[in-house]
Amino acid sequence: MLRHHRAVHGEVTGEAATQLGLETLQRAIRLKQAVTMNVVDGLGNSNTETVVPVSVSGGRVRVFDAARDTERVLSIHRIIDVEPAGEPHK
């Protein structure tokens, strides 16, 4: 569940990372901003996606995926990293 999140001043892990990740998603929802997420599928394969989060509820996040021109629902436990789109990786 959002196992880590790149913070402004380094890496954060554990519960703090989960909270930071949820805050990042909620802020993006309020501002209608895209985020870049590292998502793991059922086989453990990691994929980086840029989407616009629409809502967070019940352990899931609903996103608009412009690349696929569709809305999707992702389980939060599959998101291992989230940050505002366009921010450089540290």
What are the DSSP E strand ranges found in 1-90? Answer: 4-7, 10-13, 35-40, 46-57, 60-65, 70-75, 79-84
Please state, in angstroms and as integers, the Cα–Cα distance from residue 58 to each residue in 3, 15, 62, following that order. 18, 18, 11
Query: CATH: 2.30.30.100, 1.20.140.10, 2.40.50.100, 3.40.50.2300. Which one for 4-84?
Result: 2.30.30.100
Mean pLDDT per 10-residue run, the chain (90 residues)?
Answer: 45 66 95 97 95 96 96 94 76
pLDDT at 68: 94
pTM: 0.75
- Indicate the domain borders of the chain: 4-84
- Name the DSSP class of 90: -
Q: Where does 1-90 have alpha helices with state H?
A: 15-31
pLDDT at 69: 97
Is the separation of the CB atoms in 59 and 76 below 8 Å? yes
pLDDT at 36: 97
Q: Where does 34-83 have alpha helices with state H?
A: none
pLDDT at 19: 79
